Amino acid sequence: MLLLKNILQLTKFSPTILIKNYSQYAPHYIDPIFKKQEQDNLIQSGEVSKIAFLPIKAARNNDTSSVFHDHRVSRMVNYIMKGGRKDLARKLMSETFERIKRIQIERYHKSKTDEERSKLILNPVQILHMAIENCRPVLMVTPIRRGGVKYQVPVPISEKSSYYRACKWLVEASREHDRKTHLPEKMAFELLDASNNTGRVVKRKQDLHRLCEANRAYAHYRWN
Amino acid sequence: MLLKNIRNFNSSIYISSRHCFRPYSQGNVNEESYIEDEFRVLNLRKTKGKQRENAKKSKPPSVPPPRYQQMATDQDWSAVWPGPRSFHPATVPLPLRQGWVPLHKTTPGKFANAELMKIPNFLHLTPPAISKQCEALKKFCTPWPKILESEEQQEKHFPVKFISSDYVHGLPTIRNPLSRIVTIKLNLDNLQLDKHAKDKFLRLVGERYNEQTNELTIVTDRCPLKQQNYDYAMYLLTALYHESNITEEWENTKQEADMEYYDWHRNKSKVTSTEILNWRSTSDKKIDPPQGYINSVETLMNEGENDYNLNKYKEEVIKMLGLS
Amino acid sequence: MLLRRSSLIKSPFLRLFSATAAEPKMNLDDFRTIETNPTKHSKEHIGKYYQIDDTIRKKLFAHGGIPKKYEKQIKTFNESCLMVRPQAIEIIDFIKKTDFSKPTVRYVLYGERGAGKSMTLAHLAHYGYVNDFCLIHVPYAPDWYKRPKECGLSTIHEGMIDIPLECASWLIHFKLQNIDLLTKIDAKTSKTYDWSKREQTPAGSTLIELVDHGINRAKYAADVIAALIDEIKIASTAGKFKTMVLIDGFNSFFYEKTRVSVDKKARRWPVTPDKVTITQPFINITNYDWCNGVCILTVDIIGMLGWDRESNLPRYLLGKEGFEHLDPFVPIKMENYDDLQFNSCISYYVNRRWIQNTEKGFDQELKFMSNSNPYKLMELCNAL
């Protein structure tokens, strides 16, 4: 009886999580905190004592404590990458930033008044952030079969997925041109356009939203 | 009868759970025979278990214990093992083990161990045995010359080292082909060559000269016998020595590219720097470039360039051109 | 035009420069110097940026002289500034001390890739221009041997190969740089040059006429260069003017092979630089047998064609022949930035809005990543 009780207790505390793909880490491993700033925050708030004895996953090799590390940028590099050639992808990304900076600084010098200058954003990373924010969709359509007919049913999407879609659209738009223009060149323009809430990618988002709006009559197919 | 029944009961239980009822059945001597009487075992396979047990076991042949067990600790080992002989486990009083085994197993002992027998042993060459033999041989030897006590003196009186090898092996012939190879070594200082002769000698011997140890090594192996090879090596050494002391006519046409080191006085650098220093000078007396500059160019060219040498060169040039 | 919409996105980024800040005043920044005349540059200006006047820059470096990547920066930064490097000051000091009645002193700049050899050469070219030196400036000699536009057998010198377009464009470059000086001073040709039966440059014509002839008749450009350089040597030895020779990638004149070839089949037997007609005049001008001049040369590892690049040092790059040709020369090592220059460079970039992310410790990280190498630093800052 005692044994049975023990077993019950054990099952009660071990989390029964459905693991989709096998991970090399057990589920109780926590993600690494590799940024100096975040580490300092944890130490100051005292939360570090909570995770002091927890096992930690190894940091991936693009997780650096560099000052210039940005999560969104490193995701974007991954979306640009083809065939595992990350060095090339990083090079393309940095070239994009260089072009953005050159365009913006040129505008900065051309503009006459201080007011105009103050409104210009020169930081390429900030422009990337703005562009992604502007391209994020809220809804998307998913095909659902009802009575032998496929309906494009509008569904809300998660935050993560919306970020993914925005990045993917931006990269696709940058690739979608004649072979003579290089990706960084095109991408710089796309990012600048999107951060200004104009351009092809923003239009694509709006088209999707319009489709969802048009198909809102099918929305109830999500449940029945 | 009752008793019998009880016993019967007892023994039947005894079969099923022996441990529990053992205390009760203890002390009864005839118990086993009762069981045999009552429960005969059905022997389906008709094996003759009992007969086997009763069959006489064959005795191992009477072998005397190994010899090492009777050996005295202060015995004369060279008498036990006087000459070369393959390993014998009973004779060698050592707890030897030899052989490969899988992990976590013990290596086989010395008895019936083919590996120990295969390898050559030197049990007949223990230090006492050797010293004993040396003692015996001593009466045939002359004393070691006093003049050759130290290594320097040996080097001085016998500058040529002669190295060859003898082999013992299991073939019908006693001549191992490798034993013909002869190596002679010589410190080059012993030849007392002059500047020209040394340069020529080094060019002739090529890679046989070791710069670090200043040593010449000649290996001869083209003749079938050791003596022939030795003679040939000596011939080579003699020929090299005399050849390098001869100055041929064509050697006077030695070009700058043939030089073994950079000599400032033979190079364009001398012409250039002298001309620069004497630019538009009318006096007959020519100014010579300073010695520091000459040295810096020579070290730069001979030692190869590095930051230190280049800096030195720069300083000297600045000094010479009067820029400081 | 990009507008900042604070309602749309909360900016997590630090904004360094307040909107009201006007264009930074020149004399307030400690990384700048208002001394635009390189003659007056001294040790106290080391590590500071000085501005080249745009008209001068266009005159001196219209056909090269400033590396292309830095040209791009100049366009973006909206001003042409150069850092005063200690090596440039050292050479300027040497030039000031030089007794010009003695044979020409040769200076050789060497150092690792991207350390600033070409930029120092540009600074010195400016110095030479300001001080009325006749400039014989080769922006990048390996270009002639690495990617010649057109090559053919020379009609005048048998067995030699000619690169007429390069020769003519160098003459244009020369003319643009020296037109002021040559009009001011009466330098005349000392003898008659016969180019063909009908064409000749008579003795006593100006050097500009000689140069013009080479520009108009590219076929004779190589010979015009040879004649021009002879004339300059004679004139400056006579004391009519001083001459400054600036050659970037001088070691390519002594490298064992080039990509110059008349037909593709002959590529297996590479042409050596001394078989190209343009080589000889520039080797001639770097010789010691003239005075009233100064030679500043750089040796550059990327001037070599193959992958057998082992060392940055001058003896290796020049080879024995080249070394003996220049010896005795003053070797000057281009070092990477020291702390002062590095900080000055960083604050210049920040001032020009080239570095946008200025979180704490960014300069330390850049210093570590670039090893204070100027070119690497510039590359790293491109994406920030």
Q: How many Å lie between the alpha carbon of C79 and the closest alpha carbon of chain A?
A: 10
Instruction: Using a pLDDT cut of 90, give the percent of chain B over it.
Output: 42
Does the distance separating the beta carbons of B267 and C314 come in below 8 Å? no
Average pLDDT, chain C: 83
Is A132 within 8 Å of A170 (Cβ atoms)? Answer: yes
Which among B268, B280, B305 has the least Cβ separation from residue C324? B268
Q: Does B297 touch chain C (CB under 8 A)?
A: yes
Q: Is C28 on the interface with A (CB under 8 A)?
A: no
- pLDDT of A54 above 70: yes
> Is C12 an interface residue toward B (CB < 8 Å)?
no
Rounded CA-CA distance C352/C359 in Å is 17
Higher pLDDT, B157 or C258: B157
- Tokens at residue C219, please? 């076929």
Instruction: Name the pLDDT band for C16 (thresholds 50, 70, 90).
Output: very low
Which tokens hold the place of C245? 């020779």
**What's the one-letter identity of residue A194?**
A
Please give the average per-residue pLDDT across B175-203, as a whole number: 90
Q: What confidence tier does A21 reach under pLDDT thresholds 50, 70, 90? A: low
**Residue in C with minimal Cα distance to A111:** C1
Q: Are strands C133-138 and C242-247 parallel, antiparallel or unpaired?
A: parallel
Size of interface B-C (CB pairs under 8 A): 62
In 3-state terms, what secondary structure has residue B309?
helix
User: b vs e for A47-66, b when ≥16 Cβ sit within 10 Å of the residue's Cβ?
Assistant: eeeeeeeeeeeeeeeebeee
Kindly indicate the confidence band of residue C5, based on its pLDDT and cuts at 50, 70 and 90: very low
Q: Rg for chain A (alpha carbons), in Å?
A: 24
User: Which residues are CB-contacts of C270 (< 8 A; sequence separation ≥ 6)?
Assistant: C256, C257, C258, C259, C261
Task: Give me the residue from C102, C311, C330 closest to B314, CB to CB.
Answer: C330
C2, C11, C22 ranked by CB distance to A196: nearest: C2
Amino acid at C321: E
Question: pLDDT by residue (tens digit) across B227-255?
Answer: 999 999 999 999 999 999 999 888 888 87
For B283-323, the pLDDT digits (tens) are 778 888 888 889 898 888 888 888 999 999 999 988 888 88
What is the structure's pLDDT at B215? 93
What is the rounded distance in angstroms from the CA atom of residue C36 to the CA atom of residue C38? 6
Given a contact cutoff of 8 angstroms between Cβ atoms, the answer to whether C236 and C243 are in contact is yes
- Is pLDDT of B96 > 50? yes
- Residue A56 is given by DSSP the state B
B99 pLDDT more than 60: yes
Structure confidence at residue A20 as a pLDDT band (50, 70, 90):
low
Q: Considering only CA atoms, which of C141, C208, C142 is closest in space to residue C172?
A: C208
Look at residue B217 and tell me whether its pLDDT is greater than 90: yes
What confidence tens digit (pLDDT) does each residue in C299-318 have? 988 877 777 788 888 888 88
- Taking an 8 Å cut-off on Cβ atoms, the answer to whether A105 and C362 are in contact is no
C283 part of contact set with chain B, CB < 8 Å: no
Residues in chain C: 384
- The residues near C132 (Cβ < 8 Å, ≥ 6 apart) are C181, C241, C242
Contact residues on chain C for A130, CB-CB shorter than 8 A: 8-9
Residue C248: CA atoms inside 13 Å, Cβ hemisphere, count? 22
Average pLDDT of span A118-140: 91
Q: Residue C377 and residue C83: Cα distance in Å, rounded?
A: 14
A7: pLDDT strictly greater than 60:
no
**Long-range pairs for C96-102: beta carbons < 8 A, 24 or more residues apart:** C97/B323, C97/B324, C98/B323, C98/C294, C99/B322, C100/C242, C100/C291, C100/C292, C100/C293, C101/B280, C101/C291, C101/C292, C102/B276, C102/B279, C102/B321, C102/B322, C102/C291
- What is the band of A4 on the pLDDT scale with cuts at 50, 70, 90? very low
Tell me whether C94 touches chain A (CB under 8 Å): no
The proportion of chain C whose per-residue pLDDT surpasses 90, expressed as a percent, equals 18
| pLDDT higher than 60, residue B1 | no
| Contact assignment for B320 to C314 by CB distance below 8 Å | no
pLDDT in tens, B148-171: 989 999 988 999 999 999 887 766
- DSSP assignment of A121-153, as one string? ---HHHHHHHHHHHH--SEEEEEEEETTEEEEE
Decide which of B259 and C356 is more confident. Answer: C356
Q: Given a cut of 70, is residue B20 above it in pLDDT? A: no
Shortest distance between the Cα of C368 and any Cα of chain A, in A, equals 11
Task: Indicate whether B269 pLDDT > 80.
Answer: yes
**How much is the ipTM here?**
0.84
Mean pLDDT over C124-145 rounds to: 89
The pLDDT of residue C126: 92
> Does the structure show a pLDDT above 80 at A166?
yes
**What pLDDT does residue B49 have?**
60
Of the ranges B23-27, B317-321, C22-26, the best mean pLDDT one: B317-321
Q: C76 touching B, CB under 8 A? A: no
Alpha carbon separation from A162 to A157, A168, A176, C5, C17 (Å, rounded): 6, 10, 21, 21, 33
Residue-range domains of chain A with CATH: 68-142+151-224 (1.10.455.10)
The reply to whether B281 touches chain C by the CB within 8 Å rule is: no
Q: Which of residues 70-89 of C touch A (CB under 8 A)?
A: 72, 75-78
Give the DSSP H or E segment for C162.
Answer: strand C161-162
Instruction: Give me the pLDDT at residue C188, please.
Output: 83
Highest-scoring range by mean pLDDT, A18-32, B101-115, C2-16: B101-115
**B317 vs chain C: nearest CA distance in angstroms?**
6
Q: How far away is chain B from the Cα of C329, in angstroms, using its nearest Cα?
A: 7
Residue A190 has pLDDT above 70, yes or no: yes
List of chain C residues whose C-beta atoms are within 8 Å of the C-beta of residue B257? none
- List every span in chain B annotated with CATH 3.30.160.20: 151-253
Does residue C360 belong to the interface with chain A, where contact is any CB pair within 8 Å?
Answer: yes
Given this model, what pLDDT does residue B21 score? 41
pLDDT in tens, C32-88: 888 888 888 888 888 889 989 888 888 888 888 888 999 999 988 888 888 999 999
Lowest mean pLDDT among A1-5, B258-262, C6-10, C136-140: C6-10
pLDDT at C267 (0 to 100): 59
Q: Do C354 and A95 touch (CB under 8 A)?
A: no
Q: What is the pLDDT of residue B185?
A: 94
Q: What is the mean pLDDT of residues C135-147?
A: 88
Contact C83, C344 (CB under 8 A): yes
Q: Across the interface, do C324 and B317 touch by the CB < 8 Å criterion?
A: no
* Fold adopted by C86-333: Rossmann fold (3.40.50)
- Mutation for C interface: A117, A191, A192, most C CBs within 10 A: A117
When mean pLDDT is compared across B199-208, C35-44, C371-380, the lowest value belongs to C35-44
Give, in words, the CATH class of B151-253.
Answer: alpha beta
Indicate yes or no: CB of C4 within 8 angstroms of CB of A117: no
Comparison of pLDDT for A126 and B18, the residue scoring more: A126
Rounded to the nearest angstrom, the minimum Cα separation between C13 and chain A is 7
Q: B317: which chain C residues are within 8 Å (Cβ-Cβ)? A: 328-330
Residue ranges of chain C that CATH labels 3.40.50.300: 86-333
Instruction: Provide the pLDDT confidence category of residue C269 given band limits of 50, 70 and 90.
Output: low
Q: Is the pLDDT of residue C167 over 50?
A: yes
Q: Is residue C32 helix, strand or coil?
A: strand
Residue A38 CA from chain centroid, whole number: 20
pLDDT digit string, tens, across residues A58-94? 988 888 888 888 899 999 999 999 998 999 999 999 9
B15 touches chain C (CB under 8 A): no
**B273: contact with C, CB 8 A cutoff:** yes
Amino acid code (one letter) for B177: P
- Name B182's bridge partners: B164, B220
* pLDDT at C20 exceeding the cut of 60: no
Q: Which of C94, C288, C333 sits opposite B323 (nearest CB)?
A: C94
pLDDT in tens, B26-58: 444 454 555 556 788 787 887 666 666 667 788
User: What is the arithmetic mean of pLDDT over C147-164?
Assistant: 82
pLDDT, residue B18, reads 43
CA dist., res. A100 & res. A184, Å (int): 9
Is the pLDDT assigned to residue B71 strictly greater than 90? yes
